[in-house]
Amino acid sequence: MARILVIEDDSAIRRGIVDAVESEGHAALEAPDAARGLEMALGVDCDLVLLDLVLPRGDGLDILREVRQVRPTLPVIILTARGAEDDRINGLRLGADDYIVKPFSVKELLARISAVLRRSPERPLDVKEVPLPGGVADLHRREVRFEDGSRIELSEREVELLRYLAQNAGRAISREEILARVWRLDPAGLETRTIDMHVARLREKLRDDGEQPRVLLTVRGKGYMFAGGP
């Protein structure tokens, strides 16, 4: 059972969401405006936030921005009006885990919640170092240190990419998900070759054989998976 915070100003929609999540055995917490929603998102024990973007007493994107600063691993699904493409793109760039376009069905809502909750337990609270065969990637210092004493600097994007893959170790991650969660871009219609190029460069820096990788695996038809370790 998960504790789900519902930040939604429309009382009828909020009641419907609460009834839906409780029917699945989850516990629901409610906030009717941005001020109360931000207070609860930062202060209460919850496992996921359902966040409306258009709220009284503030803005949903501001809540998302603050949550990502204070609780970076708390899953957030944004609720957005039909056709609000800018809202969806901005939400993904700020780190939303998913979005649902209004009006939505209870079936879709519960499926999205279930998918995000399945992913989130795999993400540790923080990843500062990633153990590698023959070395370690220090994400705080943005460098790879090898047992032979050599060091290689990582770019900020490479750090973000490695962190996300390591946080989801053992799960194949699509290029589209990487674009959304690491690049903060809406993947619809975008060229994903840039992901392959970044993975190739990261493999070189990790001394991970591109032909037979041991750390960053290519999963045919799906994407990439972190399988590294000492």
Q: Where in the chain is the domain with CATH 3.40.50.2300?
A: 3-122
Q: Looking at the domain 129-226, which fold is it?
A: Arc Repressor Mutant, subunit A (1.10.10)
Which of 119, 150, 153 has its CA nearest to residue 139?
153
Binned at pLDDT 50, 70 and 90, residue 103 comes out as confident
> Helices marked H in 28-139 — which ranges?
34-43, 60-70, 85-93, 106-119
In this prediction, what percent of the chain has a pLDDT beyond 90? 53
pLDDT recorded at residue 200: 96
Q: Is 106 exposed, middle or buried (0-12, 13-18, 19+ CB in 10 A)?
A: middle
Asked if residue 103 has a cis previous peptide bond (ω within 30° of 0), the answer is: yes
Tokens of 160: 């973000």
Q: Looking at the domain 3-122, which fold is it?
A: Rossmann fold (3.40.50)
- Region 181-199: mean pLDDT is 79
